[in-house]
Amino acid sequence: MISFDLECNNEHRFEGIFKNYQSFEEQLKNNLIACPLCNSTNVKRLFSGCSIQARPVSKIAKDKNAQTFFEFVKELRAFVEANFENVGRDFPEIARAIYYGIEETRGIYGETSLQEMQELAEEGIPVFPLPNIEKMEN
C-alpha cells in the first residue's frame, strides 16, 4: 500500500491510499479519483518530502583514529607555520613579487582581506585561506 497527497482543481487537499503506483496511475487516468469535498475528478498528485530513517550511530562503522575536520585544519596550520615564512600584512605584495619572479620562490603565509585574496586569485596567483580554528567562535 502507498499513500499520496492529492489536490483537486479547487485546491482541496486530501490523501489517497492505493495498492501500488500502477493502481494510482490507472485510477487517475480513468478519472476514478474524486475529491471528498467537491467530487471533482480533476486531481493531481502533490509531491511531498520523503522520510529518511537514519541508522543509529552505533551501527555505523567509524574509524576511531580518524581526524575530525577541525583537527585536520589545526594540523595543516601547524605545518604551514613550521615550514613557511610568515610575511604578515605584506602577504599580497610579497605573493605578487614571488609570482612575477621579483622575489625568490618560497612558501609564505600571512594576513590579507577577502578582497585582496580574490584579486590575487584573479591574477592567477594561487592562494588558500587557512582559518585559525583556535580563534573561531561557535
How confident is the model over 32-90, as pLDDT tens digits?
A: 999 999 999 999 998 766 666 666 655 555 667 778 888 888 999 999 999 999 999 99
Please indicate, yes or no, if residue 17 is contained in any of the structural domains. yes
Tell whether 42 and 95 lie within a shared domain: no
Tell whether 19 and 75 lie within a shared domain: no
Tell whether 78 and 123 lie within a shared domain: yes
d(CA 108, CA 98): 10
Range of the domain at 12: 2-46
CA angle 120-123-129, nearest 5°?
A: 30
pLDDT tens-digit series, residues 105-122: 999 999 999 899 999 999
Q: Which amino acid is at 16?
A: G
Greater pLDDT, 52 or 123? 123
Compute CA distances 55 → 49, 51, 52, 59, 61, whole Å: 19, 13, 9, 7, 11
Q: How many domains does the chain have?
A: 2
What pTM value is reported for the model? 0.51
